[in-house]
A and B are shown apart, each in its own frame.
Chain A
């Protein structure tokens, strides 16, 4: 099916929702600040601090398990320094998105969704490191937000989504294909429709749009390939939305693997089996991270 048709359909489905969450006020002020050419890091940190929930999330996300070995980051300012100016925008948007969908359990609960998402973020970062992709933070954040369309569908189109999940239960059918069949579009297009409304930067929109079709990417195909592979690995190693779909793959046939090997030929030698076993060991860390991001933050 034509991608333009799918995107149009997705935009219609998003437009239909009148109470679509908007970016929380402090986050949008942060984004405004970031547009000022001479903004100081201090100013941004102070703004974030006016929202305690946002501040706590920023710190927790930056302190993901991968960083713990060095020094734990305890202040918003240090978190921003660590992350670098160029990533504050995505981080603010990601936090806003978490906030916007907090407690909005639909066809699946939001925690399971974020466990998969943060899992993909962390695995994307690991792959990025191994492939010597320059911006590992970008891989992490892009991994976290790649599936935002899913949480929208699960909540706003709960009944239909439930039906789809029921249909593919214990059959070897990919969720994305089932969505296409049912709606004529899928969570990638829904996700990008939302991301554009929220003004996510273009590379991130591309990851959301193409993470199931990495060969379509033009802005940063390597980033899309990294997130695609991270998604595949998480889907077979217990960060799989609680086993809602049955994913099976052979790396040799994956387009993302070809893209990545062209970019980083040494990846061809990756011990994939060991890589999987190491990921198994990381699952509890991912679950702890997600729990900590939501802990004490239940909305009154």
Chain B
């Protein structure tokens, strides 16, 4: 069913206000097709009725989670957020290395929170490995990936991916850091795997969260969208506390922390932004 512009705006605003993820106009057809799936599943025949269900019907919160799953699944891949990675590589990382280098603290700590099957953490590992002989010579690099789901953690530790996961990976990195066994099987190099540790963590678990200390870069893409505002604020406050004073916190490509945390400052760069203490 065709999603009218007016209805698109309705869904877009509702999802944004509740979850902090923005649907660009260019994603209208994508949203339309995912809505169609959910409507078929729930037996609802009009967008208006489905909207009513999300907004306050019985099981609305559950249904919203399912819709979010539909619109964010399969989004994970290597080199996913290019503007973010470019900014990090060309500006944020060199600045950080300069500051830390001056005080003689040659250690870099990175956290991929909600790491899923490890693509984000490993992307960072590859980018940093490329700087091993130059900017990061003699630096200690620690990358941590955490997730609540043991199945995806096992996949991350295994480090075997399909063509869909590497679809955005530049040729240079694909050749250098993957062994391609078949059209659908890409095995990640042990050099990259060595750099990352994956552990189980529930972001709600305060007793564990306070031990995730002193990170320079924290990534948390498409995870907070599932939390209600109060939990979101609590989790983001943990990220804030665990971030180094000169570090950066990144969310997903169309996410927003507006109204969640007033302490962070938003730093804009071409194609995106990051949060800083």
Contact = CB atoms under 8 A, between A and B. Distances in A.
B91 A246 contact: yes
A199 interface: no
State the main secondary structure of chain B at its contact with A. Answer: mixed
Nearest to B268: A236
Given A238-B271, A251-B266, A280 B24 contact: yes
A276 B269 CA distance: 11
B270 A271 contact: no
B256 A277 contact: yes
Given A271-B258, A281-B25, A276 B270 contact: no
B259 interface: yes
B268 A250 contact: yes
B273 A273 contact: yes
A273 to B, nearest CB: 3
A247 B90 contact: no
A247 B269 contact: yes
Contacts of B258: 271-274
Contacts of B16: 274
B107 to A, nearest CB: 24
A279 to B, nearest CB: 11
A248 B22 CA distance: 22
Given A235-B270, A247-B270, A250-B265, A273 B256 contact: yes
Contacts of B272: 236
A246 B90 contact: yes
B135 to A, nearest CB: 14
A248 B91 contact: yes
A232 interface: yes
Interface string B84-109: 00010011000000000000000000
A170 to B, nearest CB: 6
Interface string A9-35: 000000000000000000000000000
Contacts of A299: none
Contact of B268 (A248, A271, A280): A248
Given A271-B258, A274-B22, A250 B266 contact: yes
Contacts of A247: 268-270
A3 to B, nearest CB: 27
B265 A277 contact: no
Contacts, number: 65
Nearest to A243: B270
Interface in A121-177: 170-172
Interface string B47-59: 0000000000000
A277 B24 contact: yes
Interface in A232-279: 232-233, 235-238, 240, 243, 246-252, 271-274, 276-277
A24 to B, nearest CB: 36
Interface size class on chain B is 20 to 34
Contacts of A240: 270
Given A172-B90, A250-B276, A280-B24, A273 B269 contact: no
A175 to B, nearest CB: 13
Interface centre among A232, A248, A249, A251 (most CB of B within 10 A): A248
Contacts of B259: 271
A165 to B, nearest CB: 15
A276 B273 contact: yes
Nearest to B23: A277
A71 to B, nearest CB: 19
Interface centre among A236, A240, A249, A272 (most CB of B within 10 A): A236
Contact of A246 (B26, B255, B270): B270
19 contacts: A172-B90, A236-B270, A236-B273, A247-B270, A248-B87, A249-B267, A250-B266, A250-B267, A251-B268, A271-B256, A271-B258, A273-B257, A273-B258, A274-B22, A274-B256, A277-B24, A277-B254, A277-B256, A280-B24
Interface of B: 16, 22, 24-26, 87, 90-91, 254-259, 265-273, 276
Given A246-B269, A249-B267, 19 more contacts: A170-B90, A233-B268, A236-B270, A236-B273, A238-B271, A246-B90, A247-B268, A248-B267, A250-B265, A251-B266, A273-B22, A273-B255, A273-B256, A274-B256, A274-B258, A276-B268, A277-B22, A277-B256, A281-B26
| Among all A-B residue pairs, the 4 with the closest Cβ atoms | A273-B256, A277-B22, A281-B25, A271-B258
